[in-house]
Amino acid sequence: MNRLELIEQLENVQDNIQYVEKQVNQKVEDTVYYKFFGNGQKHFEHDKEIRTKALAYWKRRFNRIIKQLKY
């Protein structure tokens, strides 16, 4: 991969990080989905865990791309 492709990937990953951070910080119980389909605390905790793991994934990917750019 050339340097420009890596920079474009880095921008996309940064956008994903910002999006998932908003989701993690959002009160899930207040969303329309949970008002209609929410089945209690169990599902809320599960979704919160998934979003936290997704955020960790995007941050790891961001760091990997940064390391590739350094070389």
Cβ-based neighbours of 48, under 8 Å, separated by 6 or more: 24, 28
- pTM passes above 0.85: no
Residue range of the domain that includes 5: 1-15+45-71
Domain assignment of residue 39, yes or no: no
Domain assignment of residue 51, yes or no: yes
Domain assignment of residue 50, yes or no: yes
Task: Report the number of distinct structural domains present in the chain.
Answer: 1
Domain assignment of residue 36, yes or no: no
The H-assigned helical ranges of 26-40 are 32-37
Would you write out the chain's pLDDT as a tens digit for each of its 71 residues?
688 999 999 999 999 999 999 988 876 565 666 667 766 666 777 888 999 999 999 999 999 999 999 87
Query: Is residue 10 exposed (0-12), middle (13-18) or buried (19+ Cβ within 10 Å)?
Result: middle
